[in-house]
Chains A and B, each alone.
Chain A
Amino acid sequence: MKRLAKLFLISVVSIFLLVLPLQAAGTIKIGAIFPITGPLATFGTSCANGAKMAIEEVNLRGGVLGSKIELLVEDDQYKPEEAANAAKKLIERDKVVALIAEVTSSVTLVVAPIAQQSKIVLLTPTATNPKVTQVGDYIFRACFIDDFQGEVMANFVYKNLKLKTAAILTAVTSDYSKGLAQFFKQKYTALGGKIVAEESYSEGDSDFRAQLTKIKAAKPEFVYVPGYYADVGPILLQARELGITVPFGGGDGWDSPVLLQTAGKAAEGCFFSNHYSPDSKELVVQTFVKNYQKKYGTTPDALAALAYDAAKLLVDAINRAGSTDSSKIRDALAATKGFRGVTGVITFDANRNPIKSAVIIEIKGGKQVYRATVKP
């Protein structure tokens, strides 16, 4: 009941806001919500850095529609309730014209209905679960979806690595993890591979030995762990301690320097699918990597690249819309075609998902090494 009342209040307020004339002068505000602290801190920080850099570049060139852009970044600590509060605050109080939010699928699924209700464009840089953009026609993403990412890994494991049996260890508390596991399994079994064990854990657990002991008994040639780095590190360590020597693999949730630090040698020879590799020779990637390193002193991971692309996509849409009216921004963003981003050429399909390629990264010598590019 309380929730209904809240929703009602939000809709009333947002209708009220829509009626108000938009301020023409001053800055154009874009909101961003990321988990800058908490268990996914490196994800949130990378995204915030990437988005900030993109906006700074735009402002240096005079902004868009004759005004500068102001990026308002909120931290949600990877807590859905904090993210919801931040979204309401950004929309109602700060009156942002669009949102770049959130990193994870689970939290984006909480924020997206709020943006949809208020008819504010929400562009998530990194939420890969298919359900995210199904929330409504104001929800977009800058990354590929889990159907594709799961299939890419299944193909790679079955065809390139030639491993015919696999085990899956899923985080039951994460929509992202469940989605990836499902699509990996579908594709892998369709190719002729066999899933010999399926286990699960809750995010934030610290003891995975029971599940890993079961996986070990099933003798898989490959273990798929589509989780986030904070859990994957301890999982890899405990797996190696229990004597599981086969390669592990995962999705873009593995893309954090923290994984290499915690897991160390345990991560050697593992693979994960990702959105881009900083090793790419393309000019747009090289320029981005160089500028990012100059500004922040680290090599940008895929999250930074995606957030950078997301911010640029949004500015491009505002520019083509010729207005900060949210329905016009929405239409312009949906019409994006052949946008050259750091993470590939972006064209939105009818479901507001971009069609783009993925890369496979191998962990080798304590570093992320580019292994292959897979086109859709």
Chain B
Amino acid sequence: MVDILQQIINGISLGSIYALIALGYTMVYGILRLINFAHGDIFMVGAFIGYFALGSWNLPFALGLVIAMIGASVVGMIIERFAYRPLRTAPRISLLITAIGVSFLLENLMVLIVGASPRSFPQSIPVDIYNIGGLILTNRQIIILLISILLMILLQFIVMRTKIGKAMRAVSQDKEMALMLGINIDSVIAFTFALGSALAAAGGVLVGLYFNKIEPYMGVMPGLKAFVAAVLGGIGIIPGAMLGGFILGIAEILVSAFISSTVRDAVAFIILIIILLVRPSGLLGKYMREKV
């Protein structure tokens, strides 16, 4: 029994990281209908900014986290400005291919700058281990869970309760109409990218802290899995991304615990196939007929 609970705790910690990355995916998709495949690499860039902020300048963890988030937002906005904006009126497939190109660019740029070797992440929060009746919980797991829930609430607040959030929703519904009503689409979309990238960076720093290993290709797998999480919860829906992330994390851990750790990575993609067949709009999504 303790083992199952322990595995669920492991799953929730992993899931909260997927959730953080999935939030960014879902937001960009919600507004631009673009699956930003470079998102997983922004996550990696964030982890590296955090690595240098915490390791080289010895900043406290919270400050390092904020710097990584700001740095990644800037990177996200630059990518949007130079890679995606010129293609805004192009067919959606061009945008998708560009996103894949940006992803490779970021990975290889990072290999060029820091090398391909894995690095151990600065341990700026020492591990505290709590043993509750044989159940092991670390302070880092709690921190990861709290930060991701906090960021999700903040995001939901920004999108639902603020003026810029209202503009974001307007742009997502109808770009031309929003433009006619005097909304500056460019800056709204740039803001969306900044916000999504900041969340990915937070995920990157937390992953670095939790797994103690970062490298230029670290974003590939989590990026794909977070995409699955976003689709699972209903792409474009913020609480859905969170839900999808947790379900995916727990499913993955339970499969490696009770079936086999070899098929672990397959689980995410089996889930993706099932959800696309059975409920393409995701768990929280409403089925919408395309207007012709």
Contacts and interface: CB of A to CB of B under 8 A. Distances in A.
B211 interface: yes
Interface stretch (B83-91, B114-122, B234-242, B276-284): B114-122
A233 B257 contact: no
Contacts of A201: 261
A350 interface: no
B218 A200 contact: no
B262 A39 contact: no
B211 A37 contact: no
A241 B256 CA distance: 19
A32 B265 CA distance: 35
Interface centre among A210, A217, A261 (most CB of B within 10 A): A210
B122 to A, nearest CB: 12
B92 interface: no
B3 A217 contact: yes
Interface string A50-75: 00000000000000000000000000
A21 interface: no
A207 B14 contact: yes
A202 interface: yes
Given A207-B211, A243-B136, A39 B127 contact: no
Nearest to A41: B117
A206 B213 contact: yes
Given A210-B7, A241-B129, A242-B136, A233 B120 contact: yes
Contacts of B215: 39
Q: Could you tell me the dominant secondary structure of chain B's interface residues?
A: helix
B129 A243 contact: yes
Interface residues of A, number: 31
Nearest to A78: B116
A26 to B, nearest CB: 35
A202 B213 CA distance: 15
Nearest to B216: A38
A7 to B, nearest CB: 29
Interface residues of B, number: 35
> DSSP class of A's interface residues: helix, strand, loop or mixed?
helix
A202 B118 contact: no
A262 B120 CA distance: 6
Contacts of B7: 210, 213
Contacts of A207: 10, 14, 211, 253
A230 interface: yes
A103 to B, nearest CB: 14
A161 interface: no
Nearest to B111: A37
Contacts of B136: 241-243
A364 interface: no
B56 interface: no
A358 B88 CA distance: 63
A234 B117 contact: no
B120 A214 contact: no
Given A217-B3, A233-B120, A241-B138, A200 B261 contact: yes
A213 B8 CA distance: 11
Interface in B109-160: 111, 115-118, 120, 127, 129, 131, 136, 138
